[in-house]
């Protein structure tokens, strides 16, 4: 009788541990998003379009983005090109340096930093900061003594 209880307990334990292992492996396979590489490419193209443009003008870029049907996925959120451009401009306006810019983007879209290097983030900040009222006031203060 003791042997049959022991054998039954071992069978139940082995089945449940195998089922848990199978479930974990299945869930891990499901979390791999097949469009991740596609989104990384799209976001890289979006970033390259901004960073490599020497004469970047926010208003022109925003106007062009309204005609675009591109969508970008960062984490669980999907953004149109226009929404992403407006988000970056808002982040640049509300921040005084690259660190604050990064923190603002982390609060809104935590996974955005996974797609952007530190150098690109600095370039984005400078491009979107140019032409804002805060940048104008900062330039006046910096050149006041000249």
**Does 119 reside within a domain?**
yes
Determine, yes or no, domain membership for 101.
Answer: yes
Residue 141 lies in a domain: no
Q: Is residue 91 part of a domain?
A: yes
84 inside domain? yes
26 in a structural domain: no
Answer yes or no: is pLDDT of 38 > 60.
no
Looking at residue 32, its pLDDT comes to 38
- Please enumerate in sequence order all residues whose Cβ is within 8 A of that of 114, keeping only pairs 6 or more positions apart, or say none: 74
Please tell me the predicted confidence (pLDDT) of residue 27.
45
Quick check: 120 pLDDT over 70?
A: yes
Confidence of residue 37 (pLDDT cuts 50, 70, 90): very low
* pTM, full prediction: 0.65
Asked if residue 6 is part of any domain, the answer here is no
Cβ-contact 83, 74 below 8 angstroms? no
Furthest C-alpha separation in the chain = 97
- The answer to whether residue 62 is domain-embedded is yes
What per-residue confidence (pLDDT) applies to 43? 62
**51-103 pLDDT per residue, tens:** 888 888 888 888 988 988 888 887 778 888 899 889 999 999 988 888 998 89
For 73, the domain range is 38-129
Q: What is the pLDDT of residue 35?
A: 43
| pLDDT at res. 146 | 62
Q: State how many domains the chain has.
A: 1
C-alpha closest to that of 101 among 68, 79, 80, 123 = 123
């Amino acid at each position: 009788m003791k042997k049959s209880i022991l054998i039954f307990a071992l069978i139940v334990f082995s089945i449940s541990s195998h089922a848990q292992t199978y479930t974990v492996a299945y869930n891990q396979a499901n979390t791999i998003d097949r469009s991740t590489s596609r989104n990384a490419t799209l976001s890289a193209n979006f970033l390259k379009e901004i960073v490599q443009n020497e004469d970047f003008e926010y208003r022109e870029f925003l106007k062009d983005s309204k005609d675009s049907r591109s969508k970008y996925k960062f984490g669980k959120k999907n953004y149109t090109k226009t929404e992403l451009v407006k988000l970056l401009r808002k982040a640049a306006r509300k921040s005084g340096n690259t660190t604050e810019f990064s923190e603002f983007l982390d609060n809104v879209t935590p996974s955005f930093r996974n797609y952007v290097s530190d150098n690109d983030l600095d370039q984005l900040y400078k491009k979107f900061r140019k032409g804002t009222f805060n940048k104008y006031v900062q330039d006046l203060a910096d050149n006041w003594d000249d």
